[in-house]
């Protein structure tokens, strides 16, 4: 095989890529096709008459749009679910590598001299056992348990067995944070970070850190996928990510799931096989802060009438007196914007262009607090932060969302406590469930 | 139902008309619609414009034309339908795309826009060049040779024609199309352009 074909092999191994968008010469592709090394597949297949996107496998009927295609002079179908990666229609084709896949024979050396807590060491060993036995595993760790370090040893073993490894997470900022950390501890391996807008590397890498969407570009590629969603709030292990994981891993591949809020089904399923680890403690060993409920009747009406409820005012004053930064969570952007002028602190929301700057200002102590919606920066590990949720009874605040919000409090070593208060217009089951779960996690150790 | 632009769940308000008329499949949420800005005064002579080319509009046009998300033509379906119903007994003439370019994009965005609104149209023109106006400088645009020719469809010369296009910047495209139709003998021509690049 000549150089060009070898480069194509390196790039295309495990990938499924739109034809005509490959970063290679036409002649190379033609040669590969001639030697039956690559294969064309229809981008939108029809399974029992139902369209199915070969890239994202979206099952919803609404995402497939029929339109009159001027290229084919007939009705074609395109997929809206993955359109931001370039549109795929039923008249497009995807290219797969069907020859021998690329391999590397690096002997990865883990270069990490950290200290595990007892719980971390135990879970790390359990993960290694699962990797050796090649079975899927669930790690249930509370927010701030130090879960990235737990993965190191397991990844080292997987790499040394010449497995292709992927760490998948729903958020780009998590990829940007994780990739350099992995690169640091595995200096012999090139860690490829894949996210929307990342520069396209054509070389083969046995270790990939990717967002959910980038995972769609792979098929039958990985022997082991670590799904890290412990801090991925507000995205949970959603259907899209699950599908992407199943599609991207090999038929006999395994999934290692790290999460702070597993569903009961998932928990039961993994407990049955024994591939379940649990860390109920944070690395500093203190209890998780337990939320308290405070009634705030008709808060939305009060805010709409431009009145700041007394309880909130008192809570803010208390924080400011003690010099503690605070976060106020709102259920909707609309309510937050309406109420913003009642507060002396800035408001952040998902589409806010200055989001990063505002969060940084809070961390540096330039502002006393922040108003925010549920979509908040992950890196918001602010020491001594106090949290209040306004309208905790709203449908958007599910039990897992509330647990994750509570997890923002008391993450620092020297001050592991803090106030987390749910201001509500009636207590919901979700609020009860969140509080019960946190109490249960605390009781587990005591 | 979900918003076409932001994918958030939209609750459709039940009305009597909604109950009896054919159910609309595609909706846009109020906050997305509010980002589009209407023209306050007409900036071009003899051209009726509707929306200002702002950030939201640029985004929408980019998604329609370059991301080829044909379905978002439905965002303005009601608006276009209402506009075109003002011109009674008029023939709607969209600015055409070059066939080669249309094949590359897989659809003509003007046709898709009008079809989404359920407006009937007739192509009277044909595009002769494949180069786009947006890649040229102002001087180049204004001096460009004829962009259109008349096709074979014959109509009575006193037919009320409405030329429609998506966006007007210098007005060269519209001027060329207008001239071709006028030279063919049509007397009653109006121009309706969806987006105005001038504020």
Q: Could you tell me if A393 and A419 lie in one domain?
A: yes
Task: Flag whether residue B6 sits within 8 Å of chain A, measured between CB atoms.
Answer: no
Q: Could you tell me if A158 and A126 lie in one domain?
A: yes
Q: How confident is the model at residue A21 (pLDDT cuts 50, 70, 90)?
A: confident
Q: How confident is the model at residue A442 (pLDDT cuts 50, 70, 90)?
A: confident
In this predicted model, which residue has the larger pLDDT, B63 or A266?
B63
Task: Flag whether residue B2 sits within 8 Å of chain A, measured between CB atoms.
Answer: yes
Residues B106, A89: C-beta atoms closer than 8 Å: yes
Q: Could you tell me if B49 and B78 lie in one domain?
A: yes
Indicate whether A384 belongs to any domain: yes
Instruction: Identify whether the C-beta of residue A199 lies closer than 8 Å to the C-beta of residue A259.
Output: no
Q: How far apart are CA B123 and CA B93, in angstroms?
A: 6
Q: Could you tell me if B168 and B87 lie in one domain?
A: yes
**Number of domains making up chain B:** 2
Q: Could you tell me if B49 and B67 lie in one domain?
A: yes
Q: How far apart are CA A393 and CA A397, in angstroms?
A: 7
Q: Could you tell me if B20 and B39 lie in one domain?
A: no
Q: What is the pLDDT of residues B110-156, one digit of tens each?
A: 999 999 999 999 999 999 887 777 777 777 776 667 789 998 889 99
B186-190 average pLDDT score: 92
Indicate whether A285 belongs to any domain: no
Q: What is the pLDDT of residues A390-429, one digit of tens each?
A: 999 988 888 888 888 888 888 777 778 889 999 999 999 9
Q: What is the pLDDT of residues B76-116, one digit of tens each?
A: 998 999 999 988 889 999 999 999 999 989 999 999 999 99
Q: Could you tell me if B22 and B51 lie in one domain?
A: no
Nearest residue of B to residue A91, measured between CA atoms: B106
Q: How far is CA A117 from CA A286, A381, A417, in A?
A: 13, 20, 20
Instruction: Please report the ipTM that was assigned to this predicted complex.
Output: 0.86
CATH code, domain with A169: 3.40.50.300
CATH code, domain with B110: 3.40.50
Task: Flag whether residue B198 sits within 8 Å of chain A, measured between CB atoms.
Answer: no
User: Which residues, numbered 55 to 84 in chain B, qualify as contacts with chain A under a Cβ-Cβ cut-off of 8 Å?
Assistant: 67-71
User: Which residues, numbered 76 to 115 in chain A, qualify as contacts with chain B under a Cβ-Cβ cut-off of 8 Å?
Assistant: 76, 78, 80, 83-84, 87, 89, 91
For chain A, percent of residues with pLDDT exceeding 70: 95
Supply the pLDDT for residue A236: 55
A11-34 average pLDDT score: 87
A430-436 average pLDDT score: 92
Supply the pLDDT for residue A104: 77
Q: How far apart are CA A190 and CA A183, in angstroms?
A: 7
Of B9, B27, B70, which to mutate for an interface test with A (greatest number of A Cβ within 10 Å)? Answer: B70
Q: Could you tell me if B78 and B97 lie in one domain?
A: yes
B35-64 average pLDDT score: 92
Task: Flag whether residue A62 sits within 8 Å of chain B, measured between CB atoms.
Answer: yes
Q: What range defines the domain where residue A433 resides?
A: 292-445
Supply the pLDDT for residue B98: 92
Check pLDDT > 60 for residue A349.
yes
Mean pLDDT score across all residues of chain A:
85
| DSSP classification of residue A266 | H
Judging by DSSP bridges, how do beta strands B188-196 and B48-52 pair with one another? parallel
Q: What range defines the domain where residue B26 resides?
A: 1-34
Check pLDDT > 80 for residue A432.
yes
Instruction: Give the torsion through C-alpha atoms of A302, A304, A307, A310, to 10 deg.
Output: 40
Q: Could you tell me if B44 and B61 lie in one domain?
A: yes
Q: How confident is the model at residue B22 (pLDDT cuts 50, 70, 90)?
A: low
- Chain A hits for B104, Cβ within 8 Å: 71
In this predicted model, which residue has the larger pLDDT, A190 or A380?
A190
Indicate whether A113 belongs to any domain: no
Helix (H) or strand (E) holding B191: strand B188-196
Nearest residue of B to residue A78, measured between CA atoms: B69
Supply the pLDDT for residue B23: 58
Task: Flag whether residue A44 sits within 8 Å of chain B, measured between CB atoms.
Answer: no
Q: How far apart are CA A260 and CA A245, in angstroms?
A: 19
Supply the pLDDT for residue A231: 52
Residues A69, B71: C-beta atoms closer than 8 Å: no
Q: Could you tell me if A243 and A360 lie in one domain?
A: no
Q: Could you tell me if A22 and A48 lie in one domain?
A: yes
Q: How far apart are CA B94 and CA B108, in angstroms?
A: 10
| Residue from A286, A177, A165, A158 nearest A230 by CA | A177
Check pLDDT > 70 for residue A377.
no
Listed in order, strand segments (DSSP E) in B43-186 are 48-52, 91-94, 125-127, 148-150, 160-168
Supply the pLDDT for residue B180: 92
User: Which residues, numbered 108 to 127 in chain B, qualify as contacts with chain A under a Cβ-Cβ cut-off of 8 Å?
Assistant: 108, 112
Indicate whether A106 belongs to any domain: no
Closest-CA distance, B4 to chain A, in angstroms, reads 10
Q: Could you tell me if A422 and A318 lie in one domain?
A: yes
Q: Could you tell me if B23 and B82 lie in one domain?
A: no
Q: Could you tell me if A84 and A122 lie in one domain?
A: no
Q: Could you tell me if B48 and B133 lie in one domain?
A: yes
Residues B107, A68: C-beta atoms closer than 8 Å: yes
Q: Could you tell me if A28 and A133 lie in one domain?
A: no
Among residues A42, A63, A97, which one ends one of the domains? A97
Q: Could you tell me if B116 and B39 lie in one domain?
A: yes
Q: Could you tell me if A261 and A360 lie in one domain?
A: no
Residues B106, A71: C-beta atoms closer than 8 Å: yes
Q: Write the secondary structure of B99-140 as one string of H (helix), E (strand) and C (coil).
A: HHHHHHHCCCHHHHHHHHHCCCCCCCEEECCCCCHHHCCHHH
Residues A67, B2: C-beta atoms closer than 8 Å: no
Q: Could you tell me if A266 and A301 lie in one domain?
A: no
Task: Flag whether residue B100 sits within 8 Å of chain A, measured between CB atoms.
Answer: no
Indicate whether A111 belongs to any domain: no
**Number of domains making up chain A:** 3
Q: Could you tell me if B40 and B62 lie in one domain?
A: yes
Q: Could you tell me if B11 and B55 lie in one domain?
A: no
Supply the pLDDT for residue A60: 83
Indicate whether A219 belongs to any domain: yes
């Amino acid at each position: 095989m000549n150089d060009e074909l070898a480069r194509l092999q390196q790039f295309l191994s495990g990938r499924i890529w739109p034809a005509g968008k490959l970063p290679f010469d036409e002649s190379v592709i033609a040669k590969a096709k001639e030697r039956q090394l690559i294969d064309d597949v229809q981008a939108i297949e029809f399974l029992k008459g139902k369209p199915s996107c070969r890239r994202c496998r979206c099952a919803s009927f609404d995402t497939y749009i029929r339109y009159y295609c001027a290229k084919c002079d007939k009705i074609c179908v395109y997929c809206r679910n993955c359109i931001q990666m370039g549109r795929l229609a039923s008249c497009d084709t995807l290219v797969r590598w069907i020859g021998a896949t690329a391999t590397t024979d690096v002997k990865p050396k883990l270069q990490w001299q950290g200290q595990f807590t007892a719980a971390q060491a135990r879970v790390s060993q359990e993960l290694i056992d699962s990797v050796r036995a090649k079975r899927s595993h669930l790690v249930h760790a509370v927010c701030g348990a130090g879960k990235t370090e737990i993965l190191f040893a397991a990844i080292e073993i997987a790499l040394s067995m010449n497995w292709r490894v992927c760490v998948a997470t729903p958020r780009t900022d998590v990829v940007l944070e994780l990739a350099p950390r992995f690169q640091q501890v595995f200096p012999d391996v090139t860690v490829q970070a894949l996210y929307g807008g990342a520069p396209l590397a054509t070389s083969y890498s046995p270790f990939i850190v990717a967002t959910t969407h980038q995972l769609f570009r792979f098929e039958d590629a990985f022997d082991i996928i670590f799904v890290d969603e412990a801090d991925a709030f507000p995205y949970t292990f959603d259907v899209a990510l699950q599908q992407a994981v199943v599609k991207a891993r090999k038929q006999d591949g395994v999934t290692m799931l790290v999460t702070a809020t597993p569903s009961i089904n998932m928990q039961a399923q993994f407990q049955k096989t024994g591939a379940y680890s649990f860390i109920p403690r944070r690395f500093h060993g203190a209890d998780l802060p337990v939320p308290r409920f405070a009634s705030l009747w008709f808060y939305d009406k009060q805010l709409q009438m431009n009145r700041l409820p007394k309880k909130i005012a008192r809570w803010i004053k208390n924080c400011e007196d003690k010099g503690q930064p605070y976060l106020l969570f709102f259920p909707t952007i609309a309510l937050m914007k309406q109420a913003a002028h009642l507060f002396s602190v800035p408001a952040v929301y998902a589409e806010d262009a200055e989001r990063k700057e505002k969060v940084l200002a809070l961390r540096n102590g330039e502002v006393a607090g922040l108003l925010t919606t549920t979509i908040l920066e992950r890196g918001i590990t602010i020491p001594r932060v106090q949290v209040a949720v306004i309208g905790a009874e709203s449908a958007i605040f599910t039990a897992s969302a509330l647990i994750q919000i509570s997890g923002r409090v008391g993450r620092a070593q020297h001050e592991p406590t803090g106030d987390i208060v749910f201001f509500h217009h009636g207590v919901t089951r979700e609020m009860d469930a969140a509080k019960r779960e946190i109490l249960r996690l605390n009781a587990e150790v005591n | 139902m979900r918003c076409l632009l932001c994918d958030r769940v939209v609750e459709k308000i039940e009305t009597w008309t909604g109950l009896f008329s054919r159910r609309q499949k595609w909706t846009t949420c109020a906050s997305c619609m509010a980002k589009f800005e209407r023209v306050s005064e007409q900036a071009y002579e003899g051209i009726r414009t509707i929306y200002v080319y702002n950030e939201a509009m640029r985004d929408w046009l980019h998604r329609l034309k370059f991301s080829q998300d044909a379905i978002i033509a439905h965002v303005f379906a009601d608006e276009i339908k209402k506009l075109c119903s003002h011109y009674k007994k008029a023939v709607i003439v969209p600015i055409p795309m070059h066939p080669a370019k249309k094949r590359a994009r897989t659809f003509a965005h003007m046709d898709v826009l009008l079809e989404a609104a359920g407006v009937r149209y007739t192509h009277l023109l044909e595009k002769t060049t494949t180069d786009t106006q947006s890649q040229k400088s102002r001087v180049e645009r204004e001096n460009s040779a004829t962009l259109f020719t008349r096709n074979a469809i014959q109509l009575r010369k006193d037919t009320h024609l409405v030329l429609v296009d998506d966006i007007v910047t210098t007005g060269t495209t519209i001027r060329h199309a207008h001239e071709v139709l006028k030279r063919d003998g049509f007397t009653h021509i109006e121009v309706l352009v969806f987006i105005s690049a001038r504020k």
